[in-house]
Every structure is written in structure tokens, then in C-alpha cells.
Amino acid sequence: WSTTNPYSSVARTESYSDTKMRWYLLIDKYGSDRKKFRKVAQKESLLEKGIPLALKGRIWRDLAYVENSADYDALSRMECKYEYQIHVDVQRTFRHHFLFFEEYGKGQA
């Protein structure tokens, strides 16, 4: 693959870096003004280009106008009555997947 090919890994990496930088600039400029932040993100088509993993929590919180992070904290501490079934299904379905070799290994919640 050549670097001019839009499907090459080099082209994607450069594009991802540019997109990531644009997200950081947007946060710096409009981070406190959520309405403006959302409008500019849509106008610049940043959502279609993807949200960098390191920024997903922050950006989705801002785009969803989440005001009270205590709600998330309370919900995340609640017991899930389906947790056991999810555990069983993951072990059955992804038994040979490298992320699930170890029970509750790296990359698992």
C-alpha cells in the first residue's frame, strides 16, 4: 500500500491524528459551552470521523448534556441481576478469544 492510498494504515493514522487534534481544539475552545460545542462538532462532521478513545467519556457527556455525574456513579454501583448470565455467556461465546483467556483479565470490566 502506498501512503497516498486512502485505505492504507498510514493514511488512516494521519487522519486519526488530525481528527484527534481537532477534538482537543474543540474541547479547549468550547468545553464550557456545551450547546456551542455540540453545534460545532456537528458542523465540522467530527462525529462521523470518530471520537478518540481517550476522549469518548468526556465528549459523550458533553454531547448528551449530562449535568450530574453523581447519577452515573450511583447507577454504576447498582447490582446487576444479569451479571452472572453475562459472565457465563462471555465464557461460552468467547472461550478462545485472547481477551478472555483469563477470567476478568485485562480489557474486561
- pLDDT for 69 equals 67
pLDDT digits (tens, 9 = 90+) for 45-101: 888 888 888 888 888 877 777 766 677 778 878 888 998 998 888 888 887 888 777
For residues 109 and 106, give the distance between their C-alpha atoms in angstroms, rounded to a whole number: 8
pLDDT for residue 30: 86
For the chain, domain boundaries = 9-75, 79-109
What DSSP letter does each residue of 41-92 carry, written as one string? Answer: HHHTTHHHH---GGGHHHHHHHHTT---HHHHHHHHHSPPTTHHHHHHHHHH
pTM over 0.85: no
